[in-house]
A = this chain, B = another copy of it.
Amino acid sequence: MDFTKLLNKHDLKITQARISLLELIEKENKPLDSQFLIDTLKQKFKVDKVTIFRILNVLTEHGILRKLEFGEGKARYELNTEDHHHLICQSCGNIEDISDCNIEALEKEIKQKKHFLVKLHTLEFYGLCKDCQKKSN
């Protein structure tokens, strides 16, 4: 994905930190926390953690990233692409994507019955992944 073009479109300056962060998030392809991003990017070049937090905030405000919380007391970030959700293993912590949640029907019902206008929703599943079920944890 061409992040230079993307940042340009949003009138955001092209910097090593921004490009590298976006490339890392794209490569890992799952919701990452700030600590992972800080540790990984610091190995590649000189960056301060404050810079990472500021980048995460701007990119989220511009809708380039999506901020998620899985009850861990910290946020995670992923590329804000199509509507999708997550399968979060409570044993090993692995996170898998799923799509096609088909919540539109529910949202329509909410609009009619509650007169609440849904802008976005979060839907996360917690349980045991295939492997952890075998380990009977």
| Chain B proximity of A19: nearest CB distance (Å) | 26
Decide if A80 is an interface residue (CB 8 Å cutoff).
no
Task: For the complex, count residues of A whose C-beta is within 8 A of B.
Answer: 36
> Which of A75, A89, A120, A122 has the most C-beta atoms of chain B within 10 angstroms of its own C-beta?
A122
Decide if A87 is an interface residue (CB 8 Å cutoff).
yes
Counting every copy of the chain, the complex holds 2
Decide if A126 is an interface residue (CB 8 Å cutoff).
yes
Contact of A118 among B117, B122, B125, B130 (CB under 8 A): B125
| A107 contact set on B, CB distance < 8 A | 125
**CB pair B130 A119 closer than 8 Å:** no
Contact with B along A83-106 (1 / 0, CB 8 A): 000010110000010100111001
Using a CB–CB cutoff of 8 Å, the interface residues on chain A facing chain B are 67-71, 73, 75, 87, 89-90, 96, 98, 101-103, 106-107, 110, 114-130, 133
